[in-house]
């Protein structure tokens, strides 16, 4: 299994002196980060899509084996709520395609108020270009059933497993040949990370993406390193 581990975002000045060297220029953060981890989840694409030139620049700063995950724009998930988004989805994947092989996956995070609608999800998944991998983060309990999981499985779309306070617990169902985890609690003990590492090893995935939350104290990179060690040790 190929394991891609990192954090949600990388450009945090608060990490200087803990994760980043104190004197590291902001423009060198991604290159330094990519020397420590092999993947990053980009969340600012939820608010606005970067220019092609920005994505191309990121692509050139990281090794060939590095993978980016882009969080889909809120226009698709929260404003239009997956309806009438053909043009928006097409444009998004066209721009994201600038990253080439370094684009690992796209995360679609649905709003908590959006309830289960299988025909809507079916039509939406049909818009995803062939060969592109998508993960779905459901935030309303009604989505968490076998009918939805089967639809994801038919499209090799990953059910995003999320560990966060105040949201529904996601059953550890493998709906795709690959996996996606967002471990977003502010603190993790080694035993807790070990349980997640065991889950990842036991899913039978060909690849898995695991991202930890950004914290000013730079705990995310620390947890990511510990998690990588635990998976390797298993």
The per-residue pLDDT for range 121-151, each reduced to its tens digit, is 999 999 999 999 999 999 999 999 999 999 9
Helix boundaries (H) for the chain: 29-34, 52-61, 74, 86-96, 118-125, 146-154, 190-201, 219-233
Q: Provide φ and ψ at 140, rounded to 5°.
A: -120, 135
Q: What is the pLDDT of residue 81?
A: 98
**Gap between the Cα atoms of 144 and 159, Å rounded:** 9
**Gap between the Cα atoms of 188 and 82, Å rounded:** 34
Tens digit of pLDDT for each residue in 175-215? 999 999 999 999 999 999 999 999 999 999 999 999 999 88
> Once rounded to an integer, what is the mean pLDDT over residues 83-98?
96
pTM for the model stands at 0.97
Residue 38 pLDDT > 90 = yes
């Amino acid at each position: 299994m190929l394991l891609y581990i990192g954090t949600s975002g990388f450009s945090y000045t608060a990490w200087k002196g803990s994760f980043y060297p104190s004197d590291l220029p902001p423009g060198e953060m991604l290159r330094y980060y990519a020397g420590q981890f092999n993947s990053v989840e980009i969340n600012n694409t939820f608010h606005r899509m970067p220019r092609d030139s920005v994505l191309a620049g990121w692509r050139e700063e990281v090794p060939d084996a590095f993978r980016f995950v882009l969080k889909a724009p809120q226009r698709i998930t929260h404003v239009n709520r997956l309806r009438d988004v053909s043009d928006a989805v097409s444009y998004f994947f066209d721009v994201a395609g600038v990253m080439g092989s370094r684009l690992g996956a796209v995360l679609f995070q649905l709003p908590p108020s959006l309830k289960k609608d299988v025909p809507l999800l079916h039509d939406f998944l049909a818009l995803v270009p062939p060969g592109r991998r998508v993960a779905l983060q459901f935030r309303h309990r009604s989505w968490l059933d076998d009918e939805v999981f089967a639809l994801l499985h038919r499209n090799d779309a990953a059910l995003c497993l999320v560990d966060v306070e105040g949201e529904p617990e996601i059953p550890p169902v493998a709906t795709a040949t690959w996996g996606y985890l967002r471990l977003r609690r502010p603190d993790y003990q080694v035993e807790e990370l070990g349980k997640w590492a065991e889950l990842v090893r036991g899913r039978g995935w060909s690849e898995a993406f695991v991202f930890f939350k950004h914290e000013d104290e730079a705990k995310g990179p620390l947890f990511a390193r510990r998690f990588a060690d635990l998976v390797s040790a298993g």
